[in-house]
Structure 1
């Protein structure tokens, strides 16, 4: 939906089940609450904010333009959240799923933003249904359990990989997508010759050790260019990570890694930072 076709609405904040009652529905799986057909254009941090609820709900056919999170879903009961056919424009993060397992995100369109998922376990990440979403006119690739796969067709606007082994990602342009490329619990990944700029984070590896990250360009991101967390024994070589608001390259608890021949200039904080990452070169 375009913003002109929808009903203008102020920011929506729901932090208890009773606050859903102004919307149609009863909150059951057969009759979920509906947040449907709104234009929410706001300078607030979130356009739609739902936290700590247990009722079933659907957010659909909305246009959301907020300062930080377009649609933010945090700590809701498993399987209760469905986010479909929305347009998220110019948010830092278009849609956030935070510890809200078994959610569905489908048929959404992102412009200058993308999807962020935060969970603590592989099973939690794997519980989500993410399909047929578009980032800056290209596919949002959400892939799980891949093995010995090469992703080299430049058709993606954002890539999220979970529990993959021996996957190569190369020759992608993943700009203005919140997090251009995100890996969780992936091993022996090869990330080469990608451009991930003007995001919040260019490339993020979480619990994804033994990776090779080479010849990527991660410039002008609002946070960090390359971010490794609990992703040790990795090789980081010949990347350009400049003009980022925070660090160019940041390793946290990612020891025994090799970081060489990278160009990290004009970052606002540090060019290369290693924290709790001993035995690295």
Structure 2
């Protein structure tokens, strides 16, 4: 026998202790499981760690019942996985064998069941709760998720790049999302019950989805597409679904009808034209009314309450006309109205109360936004992005709460007119321009806003600002080195009218000297007004010019035609 020195015994002991850790490396196809009862069986016991199957070999090493064929799939059944764990409860990766995950209870895991690069998997009759994500499927094929119960989770079922998946007869109570498809065409979503999800069913770039016989409470259906192809929207089949015990109205390729029966929990229009939506009520859904492509979608007198991601959303609709609509308590983006890729329309005489934002316009042109009231909108009252020829006139934006946002926000846009609006008592900016050019800001009342009344960033240029009333802006203590009620960091912007030789009214400025404006542009208003333009008759020619311009537009003629139609309803 060899006698080793005592100092040599420690490294030998350390090697023996660590040897099992090296043997169980990440290349192993099976994750070691230790159950609370120290049983050797892999079913019907409470486990403190999850199950990870890294390839087909793992099924046989774990002695699951079955042989991995379609007739006799491997059975992963009766697990009870309960642990506050930042890993999946059951994870299957890179497998081709047929298998069934059934009758398991999984709680407090980051993800309940995760499938990655797997094929031929059925997930059935499991109970999953208190997980960040319950069932996550990525880059898989021939997947069926049926008759599972999911509750108290942030998200329920996510399908990504897994075409042809089947999701049927599941019961979902989720805090945020129910079922979402990403880049997964030709999936079937049938006969599911989805409760209390902000987004009941989200279809993202997944054409050919068949959506039938689902029951939603507080959520509903929304479609999203990065490239917005009409044929993708037309490929959807949506039948016999309900939201809040009312029918989800789904219309494709229809024209010249009135929708005036208050029987819909949600309304979706695809490639429709000359549609009148009159006096309907929508509440507690992801989006009340969605329209994709088409023209002359006219929404009048409707009420939207507590709709989560937009009360009215229109993509690529010509001649949209939204009039006398009431929208309230819509807290998520966009909250109120979103017009994307729309043209030649009107949004007027609507009210927005406590929404995330009032009106959002993106990639659109030739729209009139007039006589709307935005009260207490968090983000912005009116937001214009990547658009041109937008007229924003006679609106009132008050009591906005976001300190970084503008009540009227214009970005990456040109040739927009902002006239005769009242913007007051907001915690952020009054009017905020990012990369906007050749716009007019005129005859607005801008007062008691905590940030600058008007702010033009360094990428703005060639805008004209005159005959506005600036009163007591920049009230917030968080803005250092404030010397004026506006800031100009752009180039070529004019704070006066060449034609009238008139600038703006600044209530703290009492001299005839030019008014210095904060910002890198070192701009001035050389003709500051001594009185508010709204206290004199100097606005008369201004209003006459505006009236003449409005009367000569095609949109105004359209309004006469539409108004006569509404009077007959």
Question: Using the alignment, how far apart are the partners of 1:9 and 1:231 within structure 2?
Answer: 48
> Which structure 2 segments of 5+ residues have no match?
1-103, 125-139, 247-263, 418-569
Q: How does 1:1-281 map to 2 (within 5 A)?
A: 14=114, 16=116, 18=118, 21-24=121-124, 28=142, 33-42=144-153, 44=154, 46-66=155-175, 68-76=176-184, 78-89=185-196, 91-119=197-225, 120=227, 121-138=229-246, 139=264, 140-154=266-280, 156-157=282-283, 158-178=288-308, 179-199=310-330, 200=332, 201-221=335-355, 223-267=356-400, 268=402, 269-281=405-417
**Structure 1 counterpart SS, 2:406:** coil
Partner SS, residue 33 of structure 1: strand
Q: 1:12 to 1:101 in 2, by over 3 A?
A: farther
Shift, 1:280, TM fit: 0.7
- Contact 1:12/1:48, CA 8 A, preserved across alignment: no
Question: How much has 1:127 moved relative to structure 2?
Answer: 1.8
**SS of alignment partner, residue 389 of structure 2:** coil
TM-score, normalised via structure 1 length: 0.82
Return the alpha-carbon distance in structure 2 between the equivalents of residues 152 and 9 of structure 1: 47
Q: Select the structure that is richer in helix.
A: 2
- SS for the counterpart of 1:274 is strand
Q: Aligned equivalents of 1:177 and 1:123: distance in 2? A: 27
Q: Label 1:165 to 1:19 Cα distance change in 2 as closer, same or farther (>3 A).
A: same
C-alpha spacing 1:135/1:194, structure 2 compared with 1 (3 Å): farther
Select the structure with the greater relative contact order (CA < 8 A; seq sep ≥ 6): 1
Deviations 1:107-129 (A, max 9, x none): 33444433321112222222222
Give yes or no for contact 1:154–1:171 (8 Å, CA) kept in 2. Answer: yes
Distance 1:20 1:180 in 2: 40
> 1-side partners of 2:321 and 2:177: how far apart?
30
Contact 1:112/1:176, CA 8 A, preserved across alignment: no
Deviations 1:187-209 (A, max 9, x none): 00111112232222221111122
CA contact (8 A) 2:279 2:303 kept: no
Displacement, 1:80? 2.0
- 2:538 corresponds to: none
SS in 1 for 2:388: coil
Query: Could you tell me the TM-score, scaled by structure 2's length?
Result: 0.43
Say if 1:14 and 1:166 are closer, same or farther in 2 by CA, change over 3 A.
farther
**What are the superposed Cα offsets for residues 234-269 of structure 1, whole Å, 9 maximum, x if unpaired?**
111122223233222211112101111222222223
Provide the rounded CA distance (Å) in 2 between the counterparts of 1:136 and 1:176: 13
Give yes or no for contact 1:172–1:194 (8 Å, CA) kept in 2.
yes
Larger Rg: 2
Runs of 5+ unmatched residues, structure 1: 1-6
Number of matched residues?
Answer: 266
Partner SS, residue 328 of structure 2: coil
Structure 1 pair 260–60 and aligned structure 2 pair: CA distance change class (3 A): farther
- Tell me the SS of whatever aligns to 2:118: helix
**How far apart are 1:278 and its partner, in Å?**
0.7
- Contact 2:119 2:141 (C-alpha < 8 Å) held by counterparts: no
What RMSD over aligned residues (CA atoms) do the two structures have, in Å? 2.8
